[in-house]
Amino acid sequence: MKLISSSSKGKRTNSTSSNNTSRYAASRRQSATNSDSLRNQSSTGRPSSARGQSPSRNQRDGSRRPASNAPSSNGRRNASRNVNNNVSDNARTDGSSRRPPKRKGRGIKVALIIILVVAVLCAGAIVALGFYVDSLETNFPNVWINNIDVSQLSIAETTQRLIDSGFEENAVGIAVTIVFPDETSFTVSGDDVGLSLDAAEAARNAFEFGRSESFFGNAITYANSRISRTDLTNLNTPQMDSSIVSQFADEYAVQFNATLLDNELEITEDSIIIAKGSGFSPASSEDVFDLAISTLMLAVEEHEHITAEYVPAASDADDFVDLSAIFEYVHIDVVSSRFDIESRSVIESVHGRSFDLAEAERMVANATYGETVVIPIYTIEPEYTTEEIEALLFRDVLGQSTTTMTNNANRTRNIELTVEHIADTVLYPGDIFSFNDIVGQRTAARGFQEAMIIADGRFVPGLGGGICQTSSTIFDALLRTTLEVVERRNHRLTVNYLPPGRDATVAWGQTDFRFRNNSDFPVRVEAEINGLELTVRLIGTRLEDYRIEIEGVILSRTNFSVVERITDDLEPGQTYVFSPGMNGVTAEIFQRKYNSDGELISRTSVGISVYNPQQRIIYVGRQPPPVYDPEPPPSEPIPEPPEELPEN
């Protein structure tokens, strides 16, 4: 025999005849009570007997025999006589003549009297039947137990009839098989659980049929039993070790649920595989237990091996799978590698991973049960990987400049000291290069020498003379980059190692040269001296393919003036040019930016530099004064001439 459970509550359809189906339906009303009792047995590990005790005859009489409130026949006659007397008295009092009642009113009264009489007779019959039922010592008519006729038998007779008919032997050799939707199953026999039936308990419970309702209800049930057959099943509290059934139910429910979970979702490197499956909710071990117990009871009744299918309730399609939770699990934000300013290190790149959530929800919603949905997972490449960023560090020469030094030992030494301090200085993104901070104060104790400097618009000896050539060379290299100039001033006089507008003067405690690394990568300042050449390179990372050229525009020129000074250090009429003089210049510098195709992208002004003119100074030997000149002009000694043209 095979049964099908259509829900998690264990509803089944018996594949045998309709008569068997009705008996099975009646048994299901008792199975819930039996299952609860067996579940309690499972929790204690011992079978328990819930055999009910029949109430005594006196108890039944006392509880079911109501006091009679029906009026006696003498009372009815007295009441009728009183009514007639009252009518006669009233008629005599008002002196009216007696008139016969109308025929219509008399018909209604007759009908009411008939109905009343019938009702009284019916009530009396029911009361009489109730008393009769209450006095019965046998089962009701047409009562059967597991196809055994026990009609109108006493409890003792019913017990013997059941034993003689093999009732207690029905628990021997029976078994049930519970099949899950994934074709897994388990089988439990009556012998496995020590199943036994008690004919005496079944007889007592059969005797109670029709006696548990109200006085009138019992009478009506008895009347019905006279007309139709009643099949009683599950009259026994099953004696068995239900813990074995409970163990099977727990084990196979968990196994089935694990199979459901494994088939519902699989996430690979490149896809999400969702098997919409059969649409079942997870199995309930309690429901499996109830189904096994109720099927055992039916197997006892039918005395055969019965197979029942356990079918869990259908799952809610909306709760089939939580795609939002899967998205949170699968999705990985892409991280492009970069140079981090705070940590001053390269941030590791991360390949992104995700899927189209809206499209996935649509695919799952449109899928039918049993269909497999494959949702593609796509990879998001970072803009820059860690290896690429590391390869970019200090890859490009952003700007470079070379200037020529004079052959002056002190001046050259001062420049060498600045190169030693500046070489390999690294500027991280946002850092500011300060010439004075890096080189430090120019003192004799730190090794700086005296050489010509420009002070107050004149060339004079001073400690650290010549270091401005280093700051100017850095500035000239900077003009070929997009790095930001923070502070820069030109000399008061033009210098001979760079064109106007491309120099940068410095003075400790007064004037500094500063620029900021406004790029996303570190910048290294390289400086070196080869012979009389000073070279500065700014090494960094240039992501764009461009080049910058420097354009100098002379806005105006101012001619120098000539000054003659009389001196006795020269022969009369002899001249000496102490300073050749320099013209004043106003110059503007532009950065011309070109793309990889050589097209001009932009032309940006860097600033305007104003240089003062320097006088041309000529010393002239004094001429002999005329006789008549009482006060000749004063003589100016010629200062020690410089070894070379002064420059700062």
Rounded Cα distance between 624 and 569, Å, is 13
pLDDT per position as a tens digit, 376-403? 999 999 999 999 999 999 999 999 999 9
- pLDDT confidence tier of residue 147, bands split at 50, 70 and 90: confident
Token reading at 127:
């009361």
Q: Does 26 have pLDDT greater than 90?
A: no
Gap between the Cα atoms of 374 and 384, Å rounded:
31
**In b/e form, how buried is each residue of 178-206, taking b as 16+ CB within 10 angstroms?**
bbbbbeeebebbbeebebebbbbbbbbbb
Residue 227 backbone dihedrals phi, psi, to 5 degrees: -100, -45
| Average pLDDT of the residues of the chain | 80
| Token digits of residue 517 | 């690394």
pLDDT for residue 122? 75
pLDDT tens profile 526-573: 999 999 999 999 999 998 999 999 999 999 999 999 999 999 888 998
> Which region, left, alpha or beta, applies to residue 440 given φ > 0 means left and ψ of -120 to 50 means alpha?
left
pLDDT digits 0-9 by tens, 317-361? 445 578 898 999 999 999 999 888 888 899 999 999 999 999 999
pLDDT tens digits for 95-141? 444 555 555 567 788 888 888 888 788 777 777 777 777 778 899 89
Res. 9: pLDDT tops 70: no
Q: Domains of the chain: which residue ranges?
A: 2-65+138-245+282-309, 322-389, 393-621
0.75 surpassed by pTM: no
* Share above pLDDT 70 across residues of the chain, in percent, rounded to a whole number: 76
pLDDT at 239: 77
Report the distance separating Cα 554 and Cα 566, nearest Å.
36
Candidate ranges 213-217, 480-484, 620-624, 642-646; pick with highest mean pLDDT: 480-484
Q: Which of 320, 27, 315 is nearest to 146 (CA)?
A: 27
pLDDT, tens digit (0-9, with 9 covering 90-100), for 61-100: 333 333 334 444 444 434 344 434 444 444 444 444 455 5
Q: Are the beta carbons of 416 and 442 closer than 8 angstroms?
A: no
The pLDDT of 257-262, averaged and rounded, is 64
Number of other CB atoms surrounding residue 102 within 10 Å: 8
Taking the C-alpha atoms of residue 403 and residue 475, their distance in angstroms, rounded to an integer, is: 12
Identify the three-state secondary structure at position 97.
coil
